[in-house]
Structure formats: C-alpha cells, structure tokens
Amino acid sequence: MQENEHKEETLKKISGLYQDWFLDYASYVILDRAIPSVYDGFKPVQRRIMHSMRELEDGRYNKVANIVGNTMKYHPHGDASITDAMVQIGQKELLIDTQGNWGNIYTGDSAAAARYIEARLTPFALEVVFNPKTTEWVKSYD
C-alpha cells in the first residue's frame, strides 16, 4: 500500500507540465534568440551569417542567395529568416558592403530578392569582428 501512495505522489498533472515547459521555452527564445548578445551585439542568426560570410570571403561580392545557402548549414530555420537578418545588417552599412537594391529603412522599401543582391564583408568587419584580440572563438557543434 505504501508503494501505491508513493507512485501517486510523483504523478503530476499534464497542464502543470505544459505551463513549466512553455515558460522554459519562452525564456530560451527571449534570452537566447530574440535579444542580441551583450558580448558582440549579434543575435545567433546574425552571428552565423557573419561566420558564413567569412568562410566565403575572397574579396569579391557574393550573391546573397549563396551566402544564405551556406548559412543554412549552421542555421537550418529557413532561408527567409536568414535573408531578412542579413538585409537588416546590410542596411546599416557597417559590417556588410552591399551592392544592389537593399531597400530603405526610412521609406520602408524592401530589398530585392536574394538572387539579385550581392554582399561582402567590409574592411572594418574583417579587422574588428574576426580579430582574435577582439572576438573569442570557441568550438561549436559542427
């Protein structure tokens, strides 16, 4: 009898589990994906874009569609989210040197399709973002 009582005490209602799981997941999304990191100012997708652009860096402009395709190796959440994040970085004209119609943040005009626009890293990005004295590099899952 005592064993049965113990089993009943460990059972938890499913509604309580969903509430706990939702709060855990919501916290993860807000803290790890939606808010830029205090260390480098990037969201994970932006960090992966920059890494991918560094891999493809040869001094020439690359089609954004190619950069997005390469980034999907590290961020398998769809090309639209990667393209949007890249356009947001490119419109600031600090880390990405752009070519083509990247839209306008003041008028709300959207960028052209990824197959029509090109990008490369700026000298500033190459010097600051990828400098071992500035950025601490650690092994990743891949």
What local confidence, expressed as pLDDT, does residue 17 receive? 73
Phi, psi (degrees; rounded to nearest 5) at 68: -60, -45
Please count the CA atoms within 13 angstroms of the CA of 63 that sit on its side-chain side: 7
Query: What would the pLDDT profile of 27-79 be if each residue is shown by its tens digit?
Result: 888 887 788 888 888 999 999 999 999 999 999 999 999 999 999 999 988 99
In this prediction, residue 142 has a pLDDT band, given cuts at 50, 70 and 90, of low
Report whether 70 contacts 58 (CB < 8 A): no
C-alpha R_g of the chain: 21
Query: Residue 95's closest CA among 66, 64, 119, 67?
Result: 119
Name the token pair of 77: 């959440």
**Entry pTM:** 0.79
Q: Which of 18, 61, 116, 141 is catalytic?
A: 116
Q: Is 116 a catalytic residue?
A: yes
